[in-house]
Amino acid sequence: MRKVHDCGGRNLYHWEHRGTQGKAVPDLLIVRWTKNSLCFPVASVLLVIKSFTGAIAIIMPDAHILGIESSCDETGAAVVRSGQEILSNVVASQIATHQPYGGVVPELASREHLRAMVPVVRQALAEAGQTYRSVDAIAVTQGPGLAGALLVGISFAKALAFALEKPLIAVNHLEGHIHAVLLERRRSEDGELDFLVLALVVSGGHTHLYLAQLQENLWTYRNIGHTRDDAAGEAFDKVAKLLGLGYPGGPIIDGLAAYGDPLAVKFQTSQIKHRDRRDHGQPPTEDDGPRFDFSYSGIKTAVLRYVETENLGVAIEARRKALAGIGKPTLEDYLRLSDRQILDLVASFQRSMVNDLVMKTLAAAREYEVRTLFVSGGVAANRELRSTFEREAGMQGLPVFFPSRALSTDNAAMIAAAAFPKFLRREFVAMDFSAEAGMALR
Ligand code: ADP
Ligand code: MG
């Protein structure tokens, strides 16, 4: 028995979960409370339950964390209870702002965050039935991301924490994506996880493979692969732009690919054998092991070559103009404006991307003998990626988990969820912390 928290002046205790399979009583009982005045009665009831049933009881503080996310082109605010129940999750997307440019314009992103931040946070609190005063902590994305965009969220979070005298928690955006999976896993009946966990974080800005470990509420990560150039989502976005399909490209290609022949055009994805040049000159560390890096700028160039050799330029320009005239194009609009050759091209591109992501990830899983696989980030919303992972990982006997599609792309619920273990560890940041555009996850 070990003291974990001091609540309202009284000490509370918890018992650690030791595997007790095959017992008639519940293995694990987690009781949370919201009012300090209930601490003592709750603890007493648990003691009684423990002595009568032998069930392992864990008492944990029930924390409402306000999460704030502004790393790229989505302003997000959410209230999550104890890292597992989403009470609200508000996302103001800037897609309409960046659409005319075919990609995110950093300066415009910062200005949009400034405009959206206060109303989005207010809405998140109202929907959760919370107030500025009632939340237990404020969590904010520190990086990686666009420096100016990150600063908007960080400055607002600091101001709130200072004025309200609340603890402030800095969260790595990539850790947030991983906790989007954990958030939903914690809620499921069989929430137990087998470690080692391998997490593929694949979005518009990132393609990373991490080995993840948990000890005493401390999550640690080791990167065993990253993209050498374009991220996978970036490749989807650039190819869609190249084909006059608009922005963001991932969901559009996902929708259209189902109507094309994925074997029509052959694309090669890079097989990387040499170590990353950026690592050169650095002494080897004990972390050095096999790496599984990605590269997606080549496939984008291959699509460009195909467009040139097949003289698709005129048709692409016509499609671009037609789509610009439609406010919010639907899948039917995209289909009407895409001929067979484009559909086949899009399906073949997606198949190559999916196969490369799945095969490299599963090779890493075998090499490091992982027991559980997570796939998260915007591209994890891709239907072919999900079904291929499920099929191929299933054949290796490896359980694979994704966030729901809504939690795959950027949101603040994942930031508030990732902050919860830090809240339990009282890992709070001082007011002088700042944005880290290139923040690494460790
Ligand atoms: P960020 O890169 O800022 O972390 P997100 O996690 O929100 O962003 O991911 C956005 C990226 O995910 C974009 O590149 C988008 O094209 C891609 N994406 C979103 N949905 C899909 C999908 N269904 N298929 C493939 N890519 C997708
Ligand atoms: Mg993201």
Only one residue has tokens 């001082």, namely 430
**Residues whose CB falls within 8 Å of the CB of residue 92, separated by 6 or more in sequence, listed in order:** 74, 75, 76, 112, 116, 119, 120
Ligand 1 centre from 232 Cα, in Å?
9
185 shares its domain with 274 = no
Q: What is the pLDDT confidence band of residue 36, given thresholds at 50, 70 and 90? A: very low
| Structural tokens at position 96 | 């309409």
150 shares its domain with 127 = yes
Judge whether 88 and 125 are in contact, CB under 8 Å: yes
Residue 177 Cα: closest atom of ligand 1? 6
Angle between helices 297-309 and 340-367 (to 10 degrees): 160
Q: What is the pLDDT confidence band of residue 272, given thresholds at 50, 70 and 90? A: confident
Judge whether 418 and 178 are in contact, CB under 8 Å: yes
- The neighbour count for residue 358, using CB atoms within 10 Å, is 21
CB of 203 closer than 6 angstroms to any ligand 1 atom: yes
Question: What is the residue with the minimal CA distance to atom 13 of ligand 1?
Answer: 204
Ligand 2 centre from 404 Cα, in Å?
14
Domain residues for the domain of 129 are 64-192+409-424
Only one residue has tokens 């996902």, namely 254
Query: Given a cut of 70, is residue 9 above it in pLDDT?
Result: no
pLDDT of residue 20: 40
Cα Rg for the chain, rounded, in angstroms? 23
Query: Given a cut of 60, is residue 436 above it in pLDDT?
Result: yes
- Higher per-residue pLDDT: 405 or 75: 75
Residue 350 Cα: closest atom of ligand 1? 25
Query: Given a cut of 60, is residue 323 above it in pLDDT?
Result: yes
205 shares its domain with 265 = yes
Encode pLDDT of 329-341 as tens digits: 999 999 999 999 9
Residue 237 Cα: closest atom of ligand 1? 16
- Domain stops at, among 13, 42, 61: 61
380-394 mean pLDDT: 98
Query: Given a cut of 70, is residue 304 above it in pLDDT?
Result: yes
CB of 102 closer than 6 angstroms to any ligand 1 atom: no
Q: Omega of the bond prior to 251 within 30 degrees of 0, cis?
A: no
Total tally of structural domains belonging to the chain: 3
Residue 153 is assigned to a structural domain of this protein: yes
Pocket test of ligand 1: the residue of 203, 238, 385 to mutate, having most ligand atoms within 8 Å of its CB, is: 203
- Domain stops at, among 44, 61, 78: 61
Q: Which residues, by Cβ under 5 Å, contact ligand 2, an ion?
A: 203, 410
CA atoms of 407 and 255, how far apart (whole Å):
19
77 shares its domain with 35 = no
Residue 181 is assigned to a structural domain of this protein: yes
One-letter amino acid at 7 equals: C
Residue 115 is assigned to a structural domain of this protein: yes
How far does CA 89 lie from the centroid of its chain? 14
Query: Given a cut of 70, is residue 21 above it in pLDDT?
Result: no
22-33 mean pLDDT: 48
Query: Given a cut of 50, is residue 171 above it in pLDDT?
Result: yes
74 shares its domain with 177 = yes
Residue 205 Cα: closest atom of ligand 1? 2
Q: What is the DSSP string of 40-86?
A: HHHHHHHHHHHHHH--EEEEEE--EEEEEE-SSSEEEEEEEETTTEE
CA atoms of 68 and 169, how far apart (whole Å):
10
Kindly report which listed range (107-111, 128-132, 187-191, 275-279) carries the lowest average pLDDT score. Answer: 275-279
155 shares its domain with 116 = yes
367 shares its domain with 244 = yes
Predicted TM-score (pTM) of the model is 0.87
42 shares its domain with 160 = no
Judge whether 160 and 88 are in contact, CB under 8 Å: no
Ligand closest to 407 (CA) is 1
Burial of 6 per CB tally in 10 Å (0-12, 13-18, 19+):
exposed
Q: Of 117, 116, 98, which is closest to residue 106 (Cα–Cα)?
A: 98
Residue 333 is assigned to a structural domain of this protein: no
79 shares its domain with 113 = yes
Residue 438 is assigned to a structural domain of this protein: no
Ligand 1 centre from 354 Cα, in Å?
14
346 shares its domain with 271 = yes
Residue 234 Cα: closest atom of ligand 1? 14
Residue 332 is assigned to a structural domain of this protein: no
CB of 204 closer than 6 angstroms to any ligand 1 atom: yes
pLDDT of residue 41: 60
Residue 222 is assigned to a structural domain of this protein: yes
Judge whether 67 and 139 are in contact, CB under 8 Å: yes
Residue 246 is assigned to a structural domain of this protein: yes
The b-or-e profile of 405-441 (16+ CB within 10 A means b, else e) is eebbbbbbbbbbbbbbbbbbeeebbeeeeebbeebeb
pLDDT of residue 43: 60
pLDDT of residue 39: 53
SS3 139: strand
Pocket test of ligand 1: the residue of 94, 98, 379, 410 to mutate, having most ligand atoms within 8 Å of its CB, is: 379
Encode pLDDT of 215-232 as tens digits: 999 999 999 999 999 999
Q: Beta 168-172 vs 137-143: how paired, if at all?
A: parallel
255 shares its domain with 370 = yes
pLDDT of residue 361: 98
SS3 302: helix
- Higher per-residue pLDDT: 406 or 30: 406
- Higher per-residue pLDDT: 259 or 276: 259
Encode pLDDT of 45-103 as tens digits: 666 666 666 665 656 668 999 999 999 999 999 999 999 999 999 999 998 899 888 88
- Higher per-residue pLDDT: 231 or 2: 231
- Domain stops at, among 14, 43, 61: 61
How far CA 199 is from CA of 142, 223, 318, 319, in Å, comes to 20, 10, 41, 37
CB of 403 closer than 6 angstroms to any ligand 1 atom: no
| Structural tokens at position 66 | 């306000």
Query: Given a cut of 70, is residue 417 above it in pLDDT?
Result: yes
Encode pLDDT of 102-160 as tens digits: 889 999 999 999 999 999 999 999 999 999 999 999 999 999 999 999 999 999 999 99
% of the chain at pLDDT higher than 90: 76
CA atoms of 154 and 433, how far apart (whole Å):
9
pLDDT of residue 258: 98
Ligand 2 centre from 228 Cα, in Å?
18
45 shares its domain with 76 = no
Query: For residue 94, what is the domain's CATH number?
Result: 3.30.420.40
